[in-house]
Chain A
Amino acid sequence: MTETTMNSAKPSLLRGFDLKAAGPAIALLILCLIGFLLNPAFLSEGNITNLLTRSAFIGIIAVGATFVITAGGIDLSVGSMAAVIAGVMIIVMNSAVDTFGTGVTTVLIGCGCSIILGLGAGLVNGFLTTKGKIEAFIVTLGTMGIYRSLVTYFADGGTLSLNYDIRGVYRPVYYDSFFGLPIPVWVFIVVSIAGWFLLNRTAFGRYCTAIGSNESVAKYSAIKVDRVKTLTYVIQGLCVSLATIIYVPRLGSASSSTGVLWELEAIAAVIIGGTVLKGGYGRIGGTILGALILTTIGNILNFTDMISNYLNGTMQGLIIIVAVWLQRGDWGRNKSAD
């Protein structure tokens, strides 16, 4: 609370807007400080790398979700989509072993398959919402159920496991480092930069924002609304497939419990980051911070005995509610009036 009082003096200099934009960064710093005070090992290189790697899945998916939400949509299917893509990837790679052996080729086939599935699944969501004129919430609730049951069906209710030899080849994608950073973190960084550029610097990003602000205005301004909206779901699908590609080598398996609740974590990361849920304003930088915040909470709980690890969801829930409350425009004014 001391931080908020300190900051309430600043808006006059920086204008209230910057405070809002800096909010997630301040929150993350505070969390890191708490983590460090509770256990100095929190800031050890090993833990930081671990934290970043774990953030990568949700982070990459959340970058995609930022586009969907900015354009006024929502995608609830991403967790199930990741599970079904992981499952199909494993099946495809296992059956490709006979023809292509256990080398890099098979892994590449699996990755290619993942990307095609991700794009395809995004396209389906996009078409059903735009051409089918069904609300995104309903469409993706439907596909969420379908994908989840498909992976259960493919795994016959159990677990799909990757061929042991391929696992050896594929393993480095999750566990190896490159210039001191694990590969998933690099993928996260690249996706984030690309996402930031796309949303903030290109015409496409401008169109997403315009559609989320007011679809009629977008339509009357010569924006191909259906096409742009569909593309946001395709981008979301691509992000899910990239996240899956780096997730599969971690455990080398997929089951009906893979990716459960990822959709909510992704949406939470987006909202904590300052993107407006009803669309029209999106922040990739905020989304990345949001993903880091969510992972950091879990990580801190692992480090201490003060709060049970089982309360991870409670802490995340509280953070989401507080984040949205802080983003309400009148907060700054109320503070200064006190």
Chain B
Amino acid sequence: MPDGQSIGVPILSADGISKSFGSVPVLFSVSMDIRAGEVHALIGENGAGKSTFMKILSGFLQPTSGHIRLDGVDTELPGNGQSEALGIVLIHQELNLAEQMTVEENIFLGREIMSRGVLDRATMRAMVRGYLDDIGLDISPEDRISDLSIAQKQMVEIVKAISRDARVLIMDEPTAVLTEAETELFFAQVRRLKARGTAIVFVSHKLAEVSAISDQVTVLRDGQWIGTHAASDVTPDTMAQMMVGRELSDFYPPMNEVDVDADRVLEVRDLVAPGVHNVSFDLRRGEILGFSGLIGAGRTAVFEAICGLIPRERGAITFDGSSAQFGSVAEARDAGVVYLTKDRKEKGLLLGQKMRPNLSLFALPKFVKGLSVDRKAEDAALERAIRRFDIRARDPNVRVGDLSGGNQQKLLLAKVMECDPRVLIIDEPTRGIDVGTKQQIYHFIAAIAAEGVSVIVVSSEMPEIIGLCHRVVVMREGEITGVVTGDHINETEIVRYAAGLKREHQQ
């Protein structure tokens, strides 16, 4: 890296930024220098003020006090995304693409190239094709956004930013929904941008990735600036400690061995469903069984098929010794098999409603007394759930959409636990939540398993699969390629199966 460049004037710098919403302060004098050709990671727990800070850096919010300098000059950034004209582009976590329009239309949205008063589609298409080839993304400019995978949509957002000659690219958890392979591809692109002199601000909860890609790391905690370090000087462990402010010992709960002769609670044989080919596995009582694999390997489909959320084509499912062909989620729930979705905002919780109706919704028949819903029982259940799962809300009447991601996830876990399941299937238990809450969720899962509930953890995060599970099933392209047990559970082994380099022949 050219030394002179990183010492020069930062493109964008925040100096003593404070922000209050009403009387509630959320940021206290935070400073950060963003330099050309540098990847600057911004880390902190949920609620540490990262999102607010990013919005201030990109002009979506104005600071209560402090200065933003662009190329060393005090600047008041224009709001509503108009900072893009200054080369500052924020890519939101919730992607900002028009779903029904094509890739090309999205990339040129609002600055279409015209020729003689009409859209010059040929030029735009050719330019988009160039960008896509550059990034190595195998989609067509004419593809509709709604037909793309989340990872591809993410890439389209980045292409959009590149096409706008972004000087500063601020990305809110870009890798949260990407698989490792996709993340690699994404990082390759980030390195290319960096080489071109783009400054990149990168928010992530995946500390290993932060280590891998960043040059600088800034840590926020409770709205305070904790420190900025060269990424080479800090390990993921020290980063986690700075974020949480305490030692993170016992990150994963101690593993209780499962009885060798524990009952087989769930047996699946030759399950075939859309995206699932001949999947067979067993689950024992009290076991935590991991499902690993790349995104799109069909893991979610397996469990949606078992729970009656998507149709099954073939296959035998035995639950507790008797055949269990659940035709609906309600049947599965009544039998004691519940599925906790990975998409807590779209499929998990009613964001516009309060905690109480959310908590009882899944297990509502249990709360019906006579003809009506027993509100006292609901209130009692909410009180219990708040205690058991340590849900922190400033008041119980808050809209669920206003809770932090971690608290939403805890509420979602409490919601499915209201059904008193015997088999709990958790898809991506810790997506987009902070280190401290992750640790709590791991301990909850272990405690649930210790009570005799069998837990299936579907996760794309290798460390949690390794740290939490007794056994790991690896899937690839709709099939199970291997099962790893005990001491053999390690990253290399799982990756080999997931990538198709190794495969077990099951019978």
Contacts and interface: CB of A to CB of B under 8 A. Distances in A.
Interface of A: 197, 201-203, 206-207, 209-210, 213-214, 216-224, 280-281
Interface string B325-339: 000111011000001
B191 to A, nearest CB: 37
Contacts of A214: 346-347, 350-351
A241 to B, nearest CB: 23
B373 A216 contact: no
A213 B347 contact: no
Contacts of B352: 213, 280-281
Contacts of A202: 368, 371-373
A280 B399 CA distance: 13
Interface string B355-383: 00100111011011001110000000000
Given A217-B349, A217-B350, A203 B368 contact: yes
B52 interface: no
B368 A219 contact: no
B341 interface: yes
Interface of B: 309, 328-330, 332-333, 339, 341, 343, 346-353, 357, 360-362, 364-365, 367-368, 371-373, 415
Interface centre among A216, A221, A280 (most CB of B within 10 A): A221
Shortest 6 CB-CB contacts between residues of A and residues of B: A201-B372, A222-B329, A222-B330, A216-B347, A221-B362, A213-B350
Contact of A203 (B309, B339, B341, B373): B373
Contact of B371 (A201, A207, A216): A201
A12 to B, nearest CB: 13
A37 to B, nearest CB: 40
A166 B362 CA distance: 51
8 contacts: A201-B372, A203-B365, A206-B361, A206-B373, A209-B353, A216-B343, A220-B339, A222-B333
B349 A224 contact: no
Contacts of A218: 361
A36 B32 CA distance: 66
- Describe A's contact surface by its main secondary structure: helix
Contacts of B333: 222
A209 B346 contact: no
Contacts, number: 70
B365 A217 contact: no
Nearest to A198: B371
B341 A220 contact: yes
A181 to B, nearest CB: 26
Given A201-B371, A220-B341, A281-B352, 14 more contacts: A197-B372, A203-B373, A206-B361, A206-B373, A210-B350, A210-B361, A214-B347, A214-B350, A217-B346, A217-B350, A217-B361, A219-B329, A222-B329, A222-B362
Contacts of A220: 309, 329, 339, 341, 347-348
A213 to B, nearest CB: 4
A197 B350 CA distance: 22
A223 B360 CA distance: 12
A281 B353 CA distance: 9
Given A203-B365, A213-B350, A219 B372 contact: no
A224 to B, nearest CB: 6
Contacts of A221: 329, 361-362, 415
Nearest to B332: A222
Nearest to B343: A216
Contacts of B350: 210, 213-214, 217, 280
B346 A222 contact: no
A250 to B, nearest CB: 33
Nearest to B350: A213
Contacts of A210: 350, 357, 361
A141 to B, nearest CB: 22
A209 to B, nearest CB: 7
Nearest to A281: B352
A221 B360 CA distance: 10
A69 to B, nearest CB: 15
A206 B352 CA distance: 14
A207 B362 CA distance: 10
Contacts of A217: 346-350, 361
A196 to B, nearest CB: 11
Query: Which of B347, B351, B357 gathers the greatest number of chain A CB atoms within 10 Å?
Result: B347
B212 to A, nearest CB: 34
A206 B357 contact: yes
B346 A216 contact: yes
Nearest to A205: B373
A209 B368 CA distance: 16
Given A220-B348, A222-B330, A213 B353 contact: yes
Nearest to B349: A217
Contact of A219 (B309, B351, B360, B364): B309
B262 to A, nearest CB: 27
Contacts of B329: 219-223
A324 B357 CA distance: 26
A136 B328 CA distance: 24
Contacts of A207: 364
A324 B421 CA distance: 43
A201 B348 contact: no
A197 B372 CA distance: 8
A219 B364 CA distance: 13
A219 B310 CA distance: 11
Nearest to B375: A201
Contacts of A222: 328-330, 332-333, 362
A221 B353 CA distance: 15
Contacts of B341: 220
Contacts of B343: 216
Contacts of A206: 357, 360-361, 364, 373
A254 B388 CA distance: 62
Given A217-B346, A221-B362, A224-B330, A209 B372 contact: no
A142 B360 CA distance: 38
A321 B245 CA distance: 53
A224 B349 CA distance: 17
Contacts of B353: 209, 213, 280
Nearest to A201: B372
Contacts of B372: 197, 201-202
Contacts of B346: 214, 216-217
Given A217-B348, A222-B328, A280-B352, A209 B357 contact: yes
Contacts of A281: 352
B305 to A, nearest CB: 14
A221 B358 CA distance: 10
A70 B343 CA distance: 24
A280 B352 CA distance: 8
A202 B374 CA distance: 9
Contacts of A224: 328, 330
Contacts of B362: 221-222
Nearest to A216: B347
Contacts of B349: 217
A284 to B, nearest CB: 15
Nearest to B371: A202
A204 to B, nearest CB: 10
B364 A203 contact: yes
Contacts of B347: 214, 216-217, 219-220
B466 to A, nearest CB: 28
